[in-house]
Structures are given as C-alpha cells and as structure tokens.
Amino acid sequence: MTIKLDGKTLSLEQVRTVALGEKVELCSEATRRVNKSRKQVEDIVAQEKVAYGINTGFGTLSEVSIDKDKVEELQRNLIHSHSIGVGEPFDRITTRAIMVLRANTLAKGHSGIRLSTLQHLLDMLNEGIHPVIPEKGSVGASGDLAPLSHLALGMIGEGPVEYKGRIVNGNTAFKKVGLKAVKLVAKEGLALINGTQVMTAVAILALLEAEDAARIADIVGAITCEAMLGSVKPFQDCIHKLRPHPGQITCAANLRKLLKNSPIVKSHKNCHKVQDAYSLRCMPQVHGASRDAFAYLRRVLEIEANAATDNPLLFPDDNVIISGGNFHGQPVAIASDLGSIAAAELGNISERRVEQLVNPHLSSGLPPFLIKEEGLNCGFMIAQVASASLVSENKSLAHPASVDSIPSSAGREDHVSMGTIAARKFSAIVHNLQEILAIEMLVACQALDLRKPLIPANATSAVLDTIRKQVTFMAKDRSLYPDQRKILKMIRNGEILKSAESVTGKIP
C-alpha cells in the first residue's frame, strides 16, 4: 500500500516500510500547502525584498545580498560547497529513510520549495534511485548540512546514485526512468539541506531494532532463568505495582507469561536457594529502565519525523518569513544518547547471565562451560569472552556525543548537537546488542537441554524448538560462529519472537 505524506502523521513504522521499498505519494492538502508557501517565495523574489536563504548568503555571510539574476546560481553553489561528507555511504535502507523524512518535512508547506522539486524526490524514491550519502561530516547544527547536500547533489544530477545495485551518475539513472534533473531556484537548495533528517532516520531505524531487542532480551532472559533454576517470585505483579515504572511492569508481565506453568520452575519450588543473582532477579528493573528510555526516544522521534526543521520558515497565512533554530539537532542527540545507554545496559546484563550459565561456581549444577568431557572440550568458554568484548565496546560507544560541541561557521554556529554522531553510535550499539543476545540464546538453549529430563515452559519450549531446527545441541566442540549467526538471523527476521508469541500472544 502506498504511503501518503502529509507532513503530520508519518509513523516510525511507515518510515521503515518506505525504507524497505514501499512507494509514496503526496496528499492533496500537502500539495496545496506546498504551492502556497512557494508563492510566498516567488513574491519575495519578484519584489526584491531581502530575505535570508532566498537572496542572501548563508551562515556568517547572511548579510551579503545576492542580485536577482544570481539567485539560482546561489542555490547550486550552496549544494556544491556543502557536499563534503566523508566515510562510507549509508546503506539503501537508511538512505530511503532519509529521503522519505526529508520529503515529509517539505510536505508541511513551510519550506518554500516548488511542488515539482518535491515530486522529483518522491519519484526518485518510487523509482529506486538513491543518492550516495556519506555517513560522516555532520555536527547536527544547521541540521545535517553535508549529508543532505549529497542527497540534493543526486537530485540535480551531479552526484552519484545507487540504481538497481549499481553506482551511476544521477543523470544516467534519470534517463533510464524518464526523469530529468532538478534545476534549483530560489530557496530550494537551502530547503533541501537544512534539517535533521539524517540523524532522525538513523535513530528511527535503530530504535525499531532496539525495541525488538528488548522483547528478545525478555525471552532469552526467561530461558536463562529456567536453565539457572531461577525463581519466578521476583516477577510477581504485587512487587512491581509498588514501583510502577511502565517498562518494569511490562517486563515482569512478559517474564510471567513466558515462564507460565514451567515444569522446571516447579521442580525446585522448595529448594534451599534464597536469592538469585541480580542479572536474573532484577530483569524487570533493568530491562524495564531500558524500555522506558526507548519509549522517550520514540516520543522524540515521532515529533521529529513530522517537524518543520528548515530555516528560514515561511508562514504564508501571515505573510511572514522567520529565521529560527528548528534545525538544531539537540532533541534527537540527547534522546539518541539515552537510547545508546539503554541498549548498552541490555547487553551488559545479558553478558552477566551468560557468565552465570558457563561458570561452574554459579551455574547450579550445570557442567563447566556447558559441555561434557570438559578439558578435552572447551564448550562455551569463549562465547562469554566474545560477549564481554561486545559489551566493552558498547560501553565506549555509549559515551554521549551530545555533551560535545565545536563552534563552526566562523562562530555563528557556536553550539552544535553532534546528533548524527549520537544516532550512528546508537545504531552501532543496537547491532552489537543483537549479537550479544544471540550469544546468550545460543548458550541458554544448550543449558536448557542439559536440564533434561526436566521440561521448560510452553513458550520457552517453542523458542528452543525453533532454534533446534537450525542449531543442534553441542555434544562436542565445534565452531560456534555459524550457530551464533543463525540465531542472530532469527532474531533479526523476527522468527524467535514469533515462536514465543505463538504461545504467549503479543509480547509488548
């Protein structure tokens, strides 16, 4: 189903849908607003009024007026001079997310762009023509100037684009689908590059993966709890009602559903053990805090996805144009840094559970490193080491980017957000988290099998059965990386979540 853009109601899930290939179109009300704001720009040019971004220089050069006959050259020069992104290009999915977010903010009708230029951006999305946008080079101040300039460079046919898996010149791709390069006119260059769409796109895609990872953390945590002969008493609803953080309540409820009627749990109901380690007992508190952080990030990104982050902004109904600071990425920067911390902590506690499983001093009777004939076999010894490595890397990445600022543009941009760096670090941490959870899943399933003839709960049994179709029990040492990668794929494609939900119903 084609996604309709109105500048107001684009959801994070719709961003991902378009990023994965769905087509887009502009709604009629957005068309009217875009035309109305464009007329305001044309009136300013015709009347030769001085307005920032239309007929002046940019940044500290904003006091320099530009002759009417050089306004188009001004816009083209802006794109060329700002196209200084560095590093590897974003992948296709991220690039499409950037494109749809930029189109949606332009659809609000406060940027002064021509309808034909906006439509060209939509046509590129629908035809699968994706500008090559380098990942690095933005400080998130006047938005994502450098990377968005590469988007615009592709639109005007002067930059590389990806089309059907090949990198070609923009004009080459346009000819194949019957499009023509955009020739920018007054205000359009600035309208295309001034905004937070790169950091927002990266953060949205990472958040959606992080939210799924939080569900997987509950699932694998439940499996580890069973394998460790852990108690379900700390997950009782009465405890969490006394400290009603939403994420904590949700996680505890998930664990109760996942462990419902577990024969393993019932088998040690009257054991001598008084308390479990925090990595088991405090899953609702730790997982829940991360969930609440992701919920805050979601609220920020839902606003940002439908925000006008251009400068200057046009208000056609009042016939005013105002230069402000909506391009500043601080809201996304701080929220992304919080997301990084939250994702890192899910990995941190997961690694501790792996240690509980493989360490014979902690594992409640399981064989050392979950393998028989220890010594001859090393078992899952280095699985914990690999997890620790990723956790340590995440701790370094979780240092907030948003607390840094380096003035730019001769001091005019004297405080910057580093929001794109924050979003990229968040994405890297989430991908590491998925790897960490895959390691715990690999190890926990081995431990669960070692508890036979005891039987796990219906939900955890369903997950174990799903994994065992591709990853068998390890009786003797073998290379572990193929097994971990298979489980990682099942995490990322939703197969593990689906198997748990087949028993529990939806896991929020």
C-alpha to C-alpha distance for 353 and 336, rounded to whole angstroms? 26
Helix (H, G, I), strand (E, B) or coil at 129: strand
C-alpha to C-alpha distance for 59 and 257, rounded to whole angstroms? 56
C-alpha to C-alpha distance for 167 and 171, rounded to whole angstroms? 12
User: Does residue 163 carry a catalytic annotation?
Assistant: no
C-alpha to C-alpha distance for 497 and 215, rounded to whole angstroms? 7
Q: Which amino acid is at 7?
A: G
C-alpha to C-alpha distance for 390 and 346, rounded to whole angstroms? 12
Taking a C-beta distance cutoff of 8 angstroms, is the pair 464, 374 a contact? no
- Range 239-260 burial, b when 16+ CB lie within 10 A, else e: ebeeeeeebbbbbbbbbbbbbb
How far is CA 127 from each of CA 22, 411, 465, rounded to the nearest angstrom? 11, 41, 42
Q: How many CA atoms lie within 13 A of 413 on its CB side?
A: 22
- Exactly one of 52, 278, 296, 481 is catalytic; which is it? 52
Beta-strand pair 3-5/24-26: parallel
Burial class (CB in 10 A: 0-12, 13-18, 19+), 508: middle
Nearest to 497 by CA among 108, 93, 189, 220: 220
Q: Residues with Cβ < 8 Å from 429, sequence gap 6 or more? A: 340, 343, 344, 347, 394, 397, 398
What are the residue numbers of the active site? 52
